[in-house]
Structure 1
Amino acid sequence: INHGLLSVVTANLIFNFINENETVQAIKIAERWVTNTGDEVNIDQYEKVTFWHPASSTTTQVKLWRDYLMEHKILQPFKQAFREIYLLTEAEVNTRTYSNRMASHILKQHQYVTLAKGRNWTARLIGAWDGGDLDTAALVLPEYNLIAEYWVNALNADDAFNDTGIWNYVTTDQIRFVDTTTNELVELINVPAIPFSETLRDVDLFVGVASVGNDPTWQDSGGLPAYRDYWQSYSFGDLSEVAKNRKEILTGLIPRLKIANVTTIEDKFVVVKGKLRTYKIHIGSTNILMEPNDQYLCIVPDRSKKDTTENVYLPFEGDNGLSVILSKAFLLAADDTITDSTITSQINR
């Protein structure tokens, strides 16, 4: 932890300090190790150190750590305290060996496979050839003698494949775990909490990034006509764990922003009262509806422009969706100053 090189990587992270009598979580602040209540910890009395994972703590402890980071404006190098946690549901207990929690989504296949490989899953592109109608992505978890599997199927609609025969879209199916020592399916109730949570977090990332529901132009550009209901339901439907996490952060963050007097959180939306109209930004997809008639507003983020949220404190890096929501909120709070005709033509319609 105090290693010259590793200390840069481990700065602002929470650790478990363990001895035969107790386990204490602490973070290093100004050369002092402290708990989430600010009590100092003498780490020399502990024999073992491990990374802390929120799935191994109570909801109360996780909230205390999140509140501590927000109060002290501590930036973690990756999501730790604010990491999404996926606990076993009653439905998954009943299905026993598989989870349908991430099933029935439509993903852009190339984007999904790239994401999966980037997270150390084995996944392949499938196409319009014999045997090219399904794939099982796999993640090896050697520490637990498990392999996690995520099933996807080709979406064969309107000849939706590219010049090389690769399907543009896939639909998602079950998540399963296989015991590598017996090659048998493992009942989900017997999968340890951390690998279960991390596996579903990966898959939620695949869905959250690669779903066509996140593409503000997909419906207007044609998409797949038979699946437009999916786009609508995903774009403005129930929040995923990632989005629920975003909502918690935004709840604490918005009152500190200069747009706080015109911005609130209502159910699944960040609601912004502009000078011209009121806007509802979905916390999951970041897509926008305009009141009073829930007219869809298409805003494609311009990455060439300066990020208006760059001076806003966030407790971790890497959630692009959170930044997009804040950027849109700042933009729409001053909707009377927008000059982009592709946006103003929709607002004034």
Structure 2
Amino acid sequence: FAAERVQPFKQVFRELYVVTAQEKADGTVSHRYAGQQVNPKQAVALWGGRGWVVNQDEGVRRTFHDAGLSASVTFLGDTFTPAEVEGLTIEGVSFSKRGEWKPLPLVDIPPRIFSEVMRDLDLVVSVAHRGGVDPEASASTVDMRAALLRETCSLLKIDNVRIKQPQVLIDGRLSNYSVHLGSAVTHRQPGGALCLVPVHAQHRGRLFLPFADDDPKTAEVISKVLLLARDEDIKDPTILDQLRSMP
């Protein structure tokens, strides 16, 4: 710090992603980012810059030559092109031996490789989220969610939440967190992504929002913020396991 040295690549506070209990149960495919829609042209450019190879018939693939492993991202639909209008919808992430296609158990993947793959996916989902056609990431919607959160936290007398658009920063008792106002992607700070799976059923766990029309993504953002703002009350073992497994 005193010498003002700059890291050649991010090492200190580098995000860490670990296999969750749900992924262990799923076996060979991670659905952590399933359903997330990204802008094809932007996503392909991001993947290409991080060593991924794009194949219109097979999805996106990155090979770790030293480890003899490959990671694959599949999408809903059979094929895609960077000119897709409706966006790419991520389906799953799997790993296999280089040159083979049989998926390997996620628990057998070296932690560093698993983390780097999920870090790449998190970047793509956060940066290339379909802001152009999806109002979730538009400036006006982000502003609305920020205002809604301020009012909600004020009403509930929650004082450990700060808004620094497009992120919401939460100073919890167990850790610190960030929630993206557009995509609802959640991170522990410093550390890795938290896999908080939203429930979109019609009448299950609905969050009452008195200030705005009902919107599942807005409800997801606010519910995650409220949950993490009172992280000492979390009882869900899958969330607690993630918090304990991160440094």
TM-score bin, normalised by smaller chain: 0.5 to 0.7
| Secondary structure in 1 matching 2:38 | strand
Deviation at 1:167, TM superposition (A): 3.5
- Is structure 2 residue 111 aligned with structure 1 residue 193? yes
Residues 1:150 and 2:45 are matched in the alignment: no
Q: CA deviation at 1:142?
A: 0.8
- In structure 2, the gaps of 5 or more residues are 147-158, 169-177, 183-209, 214-247
Q: Is the 2:63–2:70 contact (alpha carbons within 8 Å) kept by the matching residues of 1?
A: yes
Partner of 2:94: 176
Task: Give the CA deviation at 1:219.
Answer: 2.0
Q: Summarize the alignment of residues 43-192 of structure 1 with structure 2, pairs less than 5 Å apart.
A: 75-124=6-55, 135-154=58-77, 166-180=84-98, 183-192=101-110
Task: Classify the secondary structure of the residue corresponding to 1:203.
Answer: helix
Aligned with 2:10: secondary structure?
A: coil
**3-state SS of the aligned residue for 1:79?**
coil
Check whether the contact 1:86–1:196 (CA below 8 A) recurs between aligned residues: yes
Cα deviation for residue 293 of structure 1 reads: 3.6
Aligned residues: 162
Runs ≥4 residues deviating over 4 A: none
TM-score when normalising by structure 2: 0.53
Say if 1:96 and 1:167 are closer, same or farther in 2 by CA, change over 3 A: same
Backbone CA RMSD of aligned residues: 4.1
Per-residue deviation at 1:76? 3.0
| 1:116–1:206 contact (8 Å) kept in structure 2 | yes
Q: Contact (CA 8 Å) 1:135, 1:153: kept in 2 or not?
A: no
Q: Is the 8 A contact 1:97 1:177 kept in 2?
A: yes
Indicate yes or no: 2:129 matched with 1:211: yes
**1-side partners of 2:123 and 2:137: how far apart?**
24
Q: Please list, as runs of the form range in 1=range in 2, the aligned pairs for 1:312-323 lying within 5 A after superposition.
A: none
- Deviation, structure 1 residue 154: 4.7
RCO (CA 8 Å, sep 6+): is it higher in 1 or 2?
2
Q: In terms of Rg, which structure is larger?
A: 1
The verdict on how the C-alpha distance between 1:118 and 1:149 changes in structure 2, with shifts beyond 3 A counting, is same
Q: Write the distance in 2 (CA, Å) between the matches of 1:88 and 1:221.
A: 27
Structure 1, unmatched stretches of 5+, are: 1-11, 13-28, 31-72, 127-133, 156-160, 223-230, 237-263, 273-278, 296-349
User: TM-score scaled to structure 1, two decimals?
Assistant: 0.39
Q: What is the alpha-carbon distance in structure 2 between the residues aligned to residue 122 and residue 94 of structure 1?
A: 28
Tell me the SS of whatever aligns to 1:184: coil
Question: Is the alpha carbon distance of 1:198 and 1:165 closer, same or farther for their aligned partners in structure 2, counting shifts above 3 Å?
Answer: closer
